[in-house]
Structure 1
Amino acid sequence: MNHVRLHPLDSRPDGDEWIVGRMATGRFVALPEVGKQALDLLDQGLTPTEIGDRLRAETGDDIDVPDFVEALLGLGFVAAVDGREIDQPPPPRPTFARIRPHHVRPLLSPVAPVLVALLITATLLARPPVTLDYRTLLWSSHGSAVIALGATVGWTLLLLHECAHLLTARATGVAGRMRLGTRLQFLVLQTDISGIELAPRRHRLTAYLAGIATNLTVAALAALAAGAVDGTPRRILAAVTMLALLPLPFQLMVFMRTDLYFVLQDLTRCRDLFGDGVAYTKYQARYTARRVLHRRTGETDPSLELPAHERRAVRGYSVVLVVGTTLCLAFFAAVTLPADVTLFARALTRLGPGHSVGERLDGAAVVVTFGGLHALWVRTWWRGRRLRRTPSRPSR
């Protein structure tokens, strides 16, 4: 191995380390200063042997540059070795690929959050006639109309929410991709904005909070509009306000990597708060089990490898992770699952003889809807499990 050609890489300093990544693929890694120096020397055309000699002269340490290059190959950072192109799959196509960063650059303006704050303040001061309780959602005596509005507005808001993340990240140069995913028992639409770690902190936080800001903006506009009309339009707009606000408490469930989880991870300066939290939780579970069984263990606490500030954050987050996940799954087992099974079983019985055509159609609709949603959850969960990759850990 004499010469290595790298793909175009972006980087930014982060304390004593550098965040380096390839925007086209969304892969990134944290490198120590010496790793960044080796990367720069590779980019200048020096061979691994020359780089090792120079770094040894400058730092006094023997740096295994060939192993470093192998790691870069695994990350997809290397374009060619000794003139031979590296066979790599093309980067996945971004969602809404025709939208370029300059098209959506205004989303990063510091004026944008100010405008959202002013709109929310104006809504609170105007006191529009919107009652925030369950009766607001039941705006019509026709259940089908209530369900139709809820489904239409709910999915539209979900798409707008994820588009806000996507387009704000696109303004920083991140490709971004939207896809279905699972969070515990929930089927969700999620946006992969890997690479945003290379952007300045203000831009990162803007991208993380863009979805919440979109929901608040829609709620404020609908509430203001409700104050200007009467009758059915007012009731519909009030329902839209509630539907826009309903997803926001979900964001507090940071144990499921919601928008606020990424804000928390950024503010605590953690590389992988969820992954490290899961690793620490599993270690504690194994350690406790062995203590109860009076078995010795030579396993080391994985959080000890982290810097002090990350270690404290990870251990605190692990408590939230365990408690939140336990409560969420317990609610699913005690409430959601029995309700789903009962509803599904009733629908199946209505498909048999002795029931009217209307009852059979109703049962068929429930079976198809519930069966389809659960089949989609299983397929999405399995696909995510198969494609999931372990996040790159910092070189320490």
Structure 2
Amino acid sequence: MTDTAAQGPLRIEPSTSVLLHDLAARRDRDEWIVGRMATRTFVALPAVGARAVALLGEGLSVARAEESLRDETGEEFELADFVRDLAALGFVARIGDCPVPDGEPPRATLPWLRPRQVGFALHPALPVFVGALLVAAVVVLIGRPDLLPDYHDLLWSPHGSVVLVSGAAAGWTLVLAHELAHLVTARAAGVPGRIRLGTRLQFLVMQTDISGIELAPRRHRLTAYLAGVALNLSVAASLILVLAWSDIGTTVHQLLSAALLLTLLPLPFQLMVFTRTDLYFVLQDLTGCRNLYGDGRAYARYIYRRALRSPRLGGTAGTAPTSDPSTRLPPHERRAVRVYSVVLVVGTVACLTFMATVTLPVDVTLLVRAARGLGSGHGLERNADSAAVLIILGGVNVLWAVTRWRNRPSRRSAIGDR
């Protein structure tokens, strides 16, 4: 981590002082969230750890900082290893006279967008406006339940290729708008944010990394997490109001109904909190958990391994048991993690089972039919439909595989990674 790394770790003497990068901190229950916005690196520290960071940031030497902590707490602390840990996190600019090399910060999406330009996203009046829009749409639906769309509305054209291409274009446009809502809201809170492709089990998704939102007030955090859902609901409500004024049976009405259904379709997916959806981050924040998904997986693995060792299940009773990872968590986190682990396992198994028994067979059937529909022996319309299926459906599956592979080495769990 230093220029002398080749000769071994840098020695930190009691008289050594350190220069920290620009760090931010926020108290969260009994801990402090401390991090560096430039690199989107954040950790949870006990109060004494946050105090040590503050003392070192004031320019105190290691010995002086230890002395201050001893005077304040009555306990002895060794800060040399703590400083090395801070350096490994990229929080330290210089140790003594030796600069600490700094990695290149991750690139932000739309870096030219400034917080003052999108400050409206955190204005208290915005949720009121969205709520009023939803109430108006519900009132219209009570009087006009026929405006609710069904799957027939997606088949607005007799040409399957036209339906497929237009649906894919509209769907991905809405997905991009959904993620931009997260980005804009996070940027208003001073968080850079970055949009990229990702995977959630068998799903290809766009995701927005808003690491750093942990340092914002709770209202801002929840607003950033729910911004995408709020955008979908606002667009759906607006389409319902417009549909109420359009003539039934016209092409415009059919297109609006199809757009409404495409806007509503992603919302049930948000309930799948075992795939770390927007509502997962709301749940994680409200339960006060640091890494609900990671801790839930660790606890589920522990239960699985313990079950394998159970004599009742044919396991080896003499095998030394592993320790329960949830016991290291605070009580409020422990309860949430154990409940979530059940949701995680059941939801994941159900999702993968559905993929194996429904989604995969349907995709393979459609791709085989499309491949057989190509050639000079078929008409132009059949060739166009087959080509559209192969390009769109095949392309999505290839893109999922490539994205899964590219993201595999860089997986990480951050407290506020959305």
2:341 is equivalent to residue 318 of structure 1 = yes
| Distance of 1:104 and 1:325 partners within structure 2 | 37
Aligned partner of residue 277 in structure 1, secondary structure: helix
Matches within 5 A, 1:26-37: 26-37=40-51
Identity of aligned residues (%): 55
2:214 is equivalent to residue 191 of structure 1 = no
Deviation string 1:271-292 (CA, Å, 9 cap, x unpaired) is: 1100000000011111111123
Match of residue 64 from structure 2: 50
Alignment CA distance shift 1:362-1:135 (3 Å): closer
C-alpha displacement of 1:326: 0.4
C-alpha displacement of 1:110: 1.3
Match of residue 170 from structure 1: 187
Match of residue 395 from structure 2: 372
TM-score with structure 2 length normalisation? 0.89
2:301 is equivalent to residue 282 of structure 1 = yes
| Distance of 1:333 and 1:286 partners within structure 2 | 25
Segment drifting more, 150-159 vs 304-313: 150-159
| Distance of 2:383 and 2:233 partners within structure 1 | 41
Out of 199, 209, 217, the position equivalent to 1:200 is 217
Are the aligned partners of 1:226 and 1:238 in contact in 2 as well (CA < 8 Å)?
A: yes
TM-score with structure 1 length normalisation? 0.94
Match of residue 280 from structure 2: 261
Match of residue 300 from structure 1: 323
2:405 is equivalent to residue 382 of structure 1 = yes
Counterpart code for 1:63? F
Structure 2: gaps of 5 or more residues: 1-11
Out of 190, 199, 203, the position equivalent to 1:182 is 199
Segment drifting more, 185-194 vs 335-344: 335-344
Deviation string 1:269-326 (CA, Å, 9 cap, x unpaired) is: 1111000000000111111111231233241100000000100000000000000000
Number of residue pairs aligned between Structure 1 and Structure 2 = 392
Counterpart code for 2:152? R
Counterpart code for 1:65? L
Are the aligned partners of 1:227 and 1:234 in contact in 2 as well (CA < 8 Å)?
A: no
Are the aligned partners of 2:164 and 2:388 in contact in 1 as well (CA < 8 Å)?
A: no
Match of residue 6 from structure 2: none
Match of residue 5 from structure 2: none
Are the aligned partners of 1:287 and 1:297 in contact in 2 as well (CA < 8 Å)?
A: no
Out of 77, 80, 89, the position equivalent to 2:91 is 77
C-alpha displacement of 1:236: 1.3
Deviation string 1:345-370 (CA, Å, 9 cap, x unpaired) is: 33444557x84364566555544444
Aligned partner of residue 159 in structure 1, secondary structure: helix
Match of residue 241 from structure 1: 260
Aligned partner of residue 94 in structure 2, secondary structure: strand
Aligned partner of residue 387 in structure 1, secondary structure: coil
Match of residue 3 from structure 1: 17
Alignment CA distance shift 1:20-1:282 (3 Å): same
Out of 104, 108, 112, the position equivalent to 1:98 is 112
Aligned partner of residue 104 in structure 1, secondary structure: helix
The alignment yields a C-alpha RMSD, in angstroms, of 2.0
C-alpha displacement of 1:166: 0.6
Counterpart code for 1:68? F
Counterpart code for 2:157? S
Deviation string 1:161-184 (CA, Å, 9 cap, x unpaired) is: 000001101111111000000000
2:243 is equivalent to residue 226 of structure 1 = yes
Are the aligned partners of 2:161 and 2:388 in contact in 1 as well (CA < 8 Å)?
A: no
